[in-house]
Chains A and B, each alone.
Chain A
Amino acid sequence: MLGNPQAAADVNKLNRKVRRFEFSWSWFSIPSLLVVWMITATQFPAYILPQVWHVAQEGYEWVVSGDIWPHLQGSFLEIIGGFGLAIVLSLICGFVAGFNKGFREYIVPLNGLFMAIPPIAWAPLMLIVFGIGYTTIILVVLISAVNPMILTIMEGVLQITSQEVRAARVLGAKRWQLFVHVYLPASLPFVTAALRIGFSQAWRALVAAEMIGAAAGVGWMVQVGGEIGNARQVLLGIVMIGGFSYLFERLLFRPIEKKYEVWRLA
């Protein structure tokens, strides 16, 4: 909670400065990848390894024809559903496990067990039970994301020192006030880490599950593109998978992280 305008202004100033003046090697990351791609592509016929602009062209056609929207929408709804459920569930279980030793002892082995099984292994079972569709994929996404998230949030609660809590109690904080004003802000860095880990797990599982049991989605695009030998479609799908992740990073995780990195990293 960066409640005060002065510190917020300080940070903004700092960030602006960094953005304007500081050279970063990260400027070369994506361009160098594109260059390697383009050079490699000159060695192959376009139907095997298409050029960057062929894929751009492919994307343009998908957008103009409107064919792309069902796939974007499908993947979007699945990630919102699966990851959203994982967030709610992991916040509840993570905090309860942090507070309650019995529940912690109970749930940690389960988390470990589920994390040892690659989430995609559940997909065939889900397909048998629920058939092709949202439910199957949302469940696979949920299973893959929720377990590491619970563990991370639990760690976040456990690392809060009893001294901080005692200080708040002496200052008159009641049970729910302790939760809102101490446990929540103090564990925020871990909650963000959990979101990050959970999302990357969820997104991987989603794409994999779509390749096995879906009728739409970016994973489906890649899968079908491969089956029909359309390398452009495959690469377009891969670019979209990366882009989707990037958007989540920018729109969801960075803003939350900004809130605490000032006091965490200063």
Chain B
Amino acid sequence: MPSESERIGGENLRIDDLWFSYGGKLSIYEGLNLDVRPGEFLGVIGPSGCGKTTLLNLLAGFYEPEEGAVTLRGQPIKPEDPHLGYVFQQPTLFPWLSAIENVEFGLRMQGMGEAERRERAQHYFNLVGLMGFEDYLIVRLSGGMQQRVNLARALAMEPTLLLMDEPFGALDAITRETMNDELLRIWDTLGQTVLFITHDIDEAIYLSDRICVLSRPPGGIFRMLDSELPRPRHGPTTRTGERFWGYKKSLINDIAEVTAQRPTSEEEIALLKRRKKIEESD
């Protein structure tokens, strides 16, 4: 039973009529609306290049929306916001620091005293199951362990909104399932609002309260799927249940439809043009 004192809780995230393009050329979002409930676990899936990472970077305030607004509990979000946690798609651990020093990094930036921040970091370090590896350098940790450090580093800030960009995408299936269970256990304890990006359908269903399928750019949400899978989830039972299969079937169809949408990315357009030229010359 999670103790109340450990609970961080989540906050309401709103995206209102969001427009965004890269340099006015490559339009990614044209009027995206999304309302994430406090403490909700929202899965976001979509084909590669559909703008998932872009969305998180907009949410974190790295990019400015061209129109519309992104707010957390009614306030615009800046990257330095202490309520914000972000687990990046690419590895971003600091290799010159030890594992636990990585977890302490944010607390140190806040000016927290050494003893206090070590204690807090240790707590989250243990929570992700890394006890005993405190003094390891990052290069000596396995991929799965590195992602645990990554997660602990974000959690140590006790954010109310946790953005996760395919955090387990580089892991093998078995490690990923273990990490999924650990993430759910931690989320169950801490209760943040989580936006979890993946392009693995199973992972999205297993973790989420709702699953958002993104269209190809320029677009927005293709479909929002409400999951009624009971919690707490349990690998063997949840993954083999009727409902799970039902959701999976419908998401597979959605993804197939989204993938068949007209291609708009620059490379794809270039590719099409080239193909057309070849056909014409024939």
Q: Identify the A interface with B (CB < 8 A).
A: 1-7, 161, 163-164, 166-174, 177, 181-182, 185-186, 188, 260, 262-264, 266
Contacts and interface: CB of A to CB of B under 8 A. Distances in A.
Given A167-B86, A181-B105, A181-B109, A266 B92 contact: no
B98 to A, nearest CB: 5
A182 B94 contact: yes
Given A163-B88, A163-B91, 9 more contacts: A163-B92, A166-B62, A166-B88, A170-B84, A170-B85, A170-B86, A181-B109, A263-B95, A266-B137
A1 B96 CA distance: 6
B82 interface: yes
A174 to B, nearest CB: 7
Interface centre among B96, B100, B140, B153 (most CB of A within 10 A): B96
Contact of B137 (A7, A161, A167, A185): A7
B101 interface: yes
Contacts of A264: 95
Task: Please report whether the interface of chain A is mostly helix, strand, loop or mixed according to DSSP.
Answer: helix
A91 to B, nearest CB: 18
B144 interface: no
B167 to A, nearest CB: 13
Contacts of B91: 163
Contacts of A2: 96
B106 interface: yes
Nearest to A262: B137
Interface of B: 60, 62, 79-80, 82, 84-86, 88, 90-98, 100-101, 105-106, 108-110, 134-140, 153-154, 157
Given A166-B79, A167-B86, A188 B139 contact: no
Contacts of A168: 94, 105, 109
9 contacts: A7-B98, A164-B92, A167-B88, A167-B93, A170-B60, A171-B105, A173-B80, A181-B108, A266-B140
Contacts of A161: 90, 92
A188 B96 CA distance: 10
B109 A167 contact: no
Nearest to A266: B139
Nearest to A260: B96
Nearest to B163: A170
B105 to A, nearest CB: 5
A6 B140 CA distance: 13
Contacts of A263: 95-96, 137-139
A171 B62 contact: no
Given A174-B109, A177-B109, A181-B109, A4 B157 contact: no
B94 A164 contact: yes
Contact of A185 (B94, B135, B140): B94
Contacts of B110: 172
A6 B95 CA distance: 16
Given A167-B88, A266-B137, A172 B80 contact: yes
B101 A4 contact: yes
Contacts of B136: 7
A4 B98 contact: yes
Interface centre among A2, A262, A263 (most CB of B within 10 A): A263
A263 B102 CA distance: 13
Nearest to A165: B92
A172 B90 contact: no
Contact of A174 (B80, B108, B139): B80
A169 B154 CA distance: 12
Contact of A172 (B94, B95, B97, B106): B106
A169 B90 contact: no
Contacts of A170: 60, 79-80, 84-86, 154
B157 A7 contact: no
Contacts of A4: 98, 100-101, 134-135
Given A4-B98, A166-B92, A260-B96, A173 B137 contact: no
Contacts of B153: 171
A7 B157 CA distance: 25
A15 B66 CA distance: 55
A170 B85 CA distance: 7
Contacts of A166: 60, 62, 79, 86, 88, 92
A260 B79 CA distance: 29
B101 A172 contact: no
A197 B77 CA distance: 44
A224 to B, nearest CB: 48
A5 B96 CA distance: 14
B128 to A, nearest CB: 16
